[in-house]
Amino acid sequence: MICPSFRFINFPDQPIVWREISVITAALRSDSQDKHAQFLRGLFETLPGRVQCEMLLKATEQCFNTLEKAEMLLLLLKRFPESVVQHGVNLGETLLEAEVSENVETPVNCFRKLFVCDVLPLVINNMDMRLPASLLQKYMLKAAEFYIGYVTRGPSPDVQIQASQDGGSLKSPSMSRGSQRYVIDGLSEKSSMVAEPWERLLDILAVIGARCEWQGDKGQRSYVDMLQRVKELCRYLPGLEGDTRARCCSQVVICAALVLFRSAFLYVSAVQPSLFQGVNALSLGPWILVEDLCSVYSDAELERGALKHGHKKRKLADGREKTMSSDDEEGLGKGRGRHILVNKTEMPSWSETLESFRVARDSWDLLHSHDGLETEFKKICASWKTDSWLWFRIFLTDMIIYQGQYHKALSSLHQMAAVHQSQLGQQSPSGPASLEHHRALIQQASCHYALGEYRMACEKLLDVVGGLVPPVQEPTKMPEDQGRVKTRTRKGNDLRLLPCTSKAVLPFCLQLMLACFKLRAFTDNRDDLSLGHVVVLLQYDWPQGEMLFLKAVDKICQQGSFQYENFFNYVTNIDMLEEFAYLRTPEGGRIQLELLPNQGMLIKNPSPALGVELNTLLLQGVQTMDRHHTVTRGITKGVKEDFRLAMERQVSRCGENLLSVLHRFCINEKIIIIQSLP
């Protein structure tokens, strides 16, 4: 057998020689570990270095496919670093030009991957090359766009289709992202994988920063450290001029932008993981940033109502003293700005998530602290088409809500709702898909509430409630969910990360509706309908709303009468029933209560045995509630028979699933609820 190097040197243009060389170079580019490929790679290693170099150069010239040509030349650059000076930049530019000419739609493509992961490190680490800062910064942004696109890529379409057929969310594949096969078109599965992309990006930034003579440490320790350094650098920016100012501006913009996108990704991957992961992560999200409603049950004038009905206050409070739980707030109220409350048990990574949100906001503020920085940052965003990044829009929307710019947030949320609807396609939203679809609606309702637009808020809430199914049984409340006695009055500026699950969303909708009706119900003007809605909604999370209920009772006493014909349809709370029964007695003030829509139709031909069974009925109610109640306290003394019988019958409903009752209230009374608000 003739030595390959002899044949190549003496017969370089013979077709048979090129066939052999093409087989050898194909094995060099291949990931295959079969014996034949290993033999060919070993054979190549036996050749003299000069022959190897010339062979790879000649093989490159024979390639007509851009990708194959680039891979062949890359073999040369890796084996012979001295060739990087001659061929490195040209190869990089060829790959970037091919990306344009091939009209690829995403920066995560085979050309960019070869450039960023293979060619660029060889070029920037070769100290024999003198590259202008503008070119290095161009390459830095190309690398950043690739790595960010790679990290934030969504589930593959084929997996999404399979998930929808299995009943999952359209954006929630049936397997975790880590187990999905991800292949960049034109590359093998192995070549498509990128390990530790954020760390690689930081390494590239450190090298390019040093070559561009950026200020600060030569080595970038972390993204947070980098942000702190450019913050300090910004203090000197107004006094700089010319090239020094331009260099400083570029350093701040690039570094702060990378911190922004990384932190925003970490935040959104926690609150909306299905954008990046599979259905296994759906149990951890999505989460919704909304107005905190912890103060919905408080009122500055509660004491006035509590004094008159002190007998109830003492009775209801007996044995049920609540202590404030700091689980949601510990360590979160120390920073500047608004507090964001979250249930630690439901979100174990709450600290990291909120820190990522804070760092991303700080980066955004820094990039908009000077006109020059903002202009350069907008150029990057336009080049990368960040307007089409749904995940980044989610962060921006949450940031806008945090800033209190609710009109601007509503505009963004309407666009997001349209995107979600288009992604749902022809399928009717159900299960996890409906929760993701309702995410924007819930935030819209929260924003309308913050703006005082209560009717719009309730319209959005009732749309959401209509798509929810109440739990069969009321969920067991965690300590964080229990009623809390506030040691201080909040200004109403806090926010909360709410899990987007039926168990959490339905109670939030009920509480937000209560907040919308509360102010209207307790104005000087009489509004029995709003007051009745408040009474119905106060049943949830009882006895946390006990003091507000007593204020409602006080208002009814001041009026001397109260009309709410839906009372017996939706009020099943034994404490409330007892208090309304007491109001009809001489001791309670003989308040005129019109709570029956049609007294003759509601109770027709009552059974004589019903009165006899009253004591048994009450005893069952007492056993169910595990408390002592006397709903008929004095009620038989001169009150109307139909009211008494209706109250007796209502006691038997005290064991009903309260969330189901309140869900029916929202569905059946949707029109009247909306019309009750201006």
630 against 577, higher pLDDT:
577
153 against 419, higher pLDDT:
153
pLDDT per residue as tens digits for the range 359-414: 999 999 999 999 989 999 999 999 999 988 889 999 999 999 999 999 999 999 87
Average pLDDT of the chain is 75
pLDDT at residue 499 tops 80:
yes
489 against 528, higher pLDDT:
528
Residues 75/25, Cβ–Cβ less than 8 Å: yes
Tokens 């109502």 belong to: 305
CA dist., res. 143 & res. 213, Å (int): 19
Complete DSSP assignment for 88-120 = HHHHHHHHHHHHHHTT-SSS-SHHHHHIIIIIH
Domains and CATH numbers, the chain: 264-296+338-421+433-470+493-521 (1.25.40), 523-599+635-677 (no CATH)
Q: Sort residue 430 into left (φ over 0), alpha (ψ -120 to 50) or beta.
A: beta
Q: What is the pLDDT of residue 484?
A: 35
Residue type, 418: A
pLDDT at residue 465 tops 80:
yes
> Across 364-432, where does the E strand assignment appear?
none
pLDDT per residue as tens digits for the range 14-60: 455 556 666 666 655 566 566 655 565 555 555 655 666 666 666 66
Angle subtended at Cα 452 by Cα 408 and Cα 665, rounded to the nearest 5 degrees: 115
Residue type, 272: Q
Residues 296/515, Cβ–Cβ less than 8 Å: yes
pLDDT band at 307; cut points 50, 70, 90: very low
Nearest to 120, CA basis, from 158, 89, 82: 89
pLDDT band at 477; cut points 50, 70, 90: low
Cα–chain-centroid distance for residue 65?
Answer: 43
Q: What is the pLDDT of residue 387?
A: 86
H or E, element range at 384: helix 371-384
pLDDT per residue as tens digits for the range 259-293: 999 999 999 999 988 887 533 454 566 899 999 98
For the residues 514-524, what does the mean pLDDT come to? 89
Tokens of 49: 């270095």
Tokens of 10: 């003496």
CA dist., res. 173 & res. 95, Å (int): 33
Cα dihedral angle (85, 91, 92, 96), rounded to 10 degrees?
Answer: 160
Residue 495 burial (CB < 10 Å; 0-12/13-18/19+)?
buried
pLDDT per residue as tens digits for the range 156-213: 554 443 333 333 332 333 333 344 567 888 888 888 889 999 999 999 999 999 999 8
Percentage of the chain modeled with pLDDT above 90: 35
Secondary structure of 343-363 as H, E, C letters: CCCCCCCHHHHHHHHHHHHHH
CA dist., res. 298 & res. 547, Å (int): 8
Whether omega for the bond prior to residue 499 falls within 30 degrees of 0, making it cis, is: no
What's the predicted TM-score (pTM) here?
A: 0.79
Give the strand order in the sheet containing 287-291: 287-291, 495-499, 340-341
Nearest to 352, CA basis, from 255, 230, 224: 224
Whether omega for the bond prior to residue 286 falls within 30 degrees of 0, making it cis, is: yes
